[in-house]
Structure 1
Amino acid sequence: MTATRLKAMLPPAASVVVAVAIATVVVAADPTSEAGFPLPPCPLKLLFGIDCPGCGAARMIYSLLHGDLPAAVHYNAAAVLFVPFFLWTWGGWAWGRWRGRRVRTWEQWRWSPHVALVLIAVWSVARNLPFEPFSSLRA
């Protein structure tokens, strides 16, 4: 293994360290109950009383780390669906750094940014509608 390749892998390794640290904080905080220490609230929810697309993500991560998929989907279904795409993106980035050239992922597909923005917008509106079945999507 060359020094250049090791140097190229420092950012992916650092991102894994940061992810493990964040996961440790989320597990210690236990955002699903009052038992842990409090995480900061969502500013959008605090100011306007509505759920942003990421609301419930800490509880979703906590539930995924404990293997509770139904609870994770309850807290933030869109984020659960995004996790495989995020892992694909990270894996492509890390593999590309290892190989020394870019690896194409879903982000480079022509309509990906547009589809992602539309899905985020639809999720944002749907989870804030005040009637069933949408009210059950609130974080």
Structure 2
Amino acid sequence: MLVRPLLRLPRTLLAAAGLVAAGSLLVISPFDFPCAFAAAGLDGPMCGGTRMLEALLAGDLPRALGFNAFAAVVFLPLVAALLIACARYELGRGRSLWPSGTRGVVCAHLLGGGLVLWTVLRNLPVEPFTVLAT
């Protein structure tokens, strides 16, 4: 019975490889992708994310936090946790990819609220928050 879950594991490995490839392409890409927030003169929630990823890959955590602390502290661990959940689900050791019921709703609201709060705070022109802008 272990053969069947092992056959499903390559999907998670392919997803992880795809994320690594996409991140690598973002880091080494000579193109600048347009952003609706930047067009409006604002910093979006993921502004500085590519530079943050590049700094993390270079091993410079303080510089990475300076580019986008939310992505480094919340988004990257969330992606890692979801990849682990995918692998556990495909191996038959997990029941779902996202927490079900009230826990899942609370997690989604906290993540969405944190993203909105991060976006608002990094665009405030008040002194303690100007450090958060890219």
Tell me the TM-score normalised to structure 2 length: 0.83
- What are the equivalent positions in structure 2 for 1:113-132 lying under 5 Å apart? 113-132=108-127
Deviations 1:46-102 (A, max 9, x none): x21111111111111111111111111011111111122321121012111112652
Structure 1 stretch displaced more, 95-104 or 73-82: 95-104
Distance (whole Å) between structure 2 residues aligned to residue 26 and residue 115 of structure 1: 27
1:38 aligned partner: 31
Q: Which runs of 5+ in 1 are unaligned?
A: 30-36
Identity %: 29
2:87 aligned partner: 94
CA contact (8 A) 1:93 1:102 kept: no
CA contact (8 A) 1:9 1:98 kept: yes
Q: For the aligned residues, what is the CA RMSD?
A: 2.0
Q: 1:23, CA displacement in angstroms? A: 3.0
Distance (whole Å) between structure 1 residues aligned to residue 6 and residue 97 of structure 2: 21
Q: Which runs of 5+ in 2 are unaligned?
A: none
Deviating above 6 A after TM superposition, structure 1's stretches of 4 or more consecutive aligned residues are none
Distance (whole Å) between structure 1 residues aligned to residue 95 and residue 32 of structure 2: 36
1:9 aligned partner: 9
CA contact (8 A) 2:16 2:83 kept: no
Distance (whole Å) between structure 2 residues aligned to residue 22 and residue 52 of structure 1: 20
CA contact (8 A) 1:92 1:103 kept: yes
- Distance of aligned partners of 1:99 and 1:53 in 2 relative to their CA distance in 1, 3 Å threshold: same
Higher relative contact order (CA 8 A, sep 6+): 2
Distance (whole Å) between structure 1 residues aligned to residue 13 and residue 97 of structure 2: 20
1:81 aligned partner: 73
Matched, 1:56 2:48: yes
Distance (whole Å) between structure 1 residues aligned to residue 121 and residue 40 of structure 2: 16
2:34 partner SS? coil
Tell me the TM-score normalised to structure 1 length: 0.80
Q: How many residues align?
A: 129
Distance (whole Å) between structure 2 residues aligned to residue 41 and residue 122 of structure 1: 23
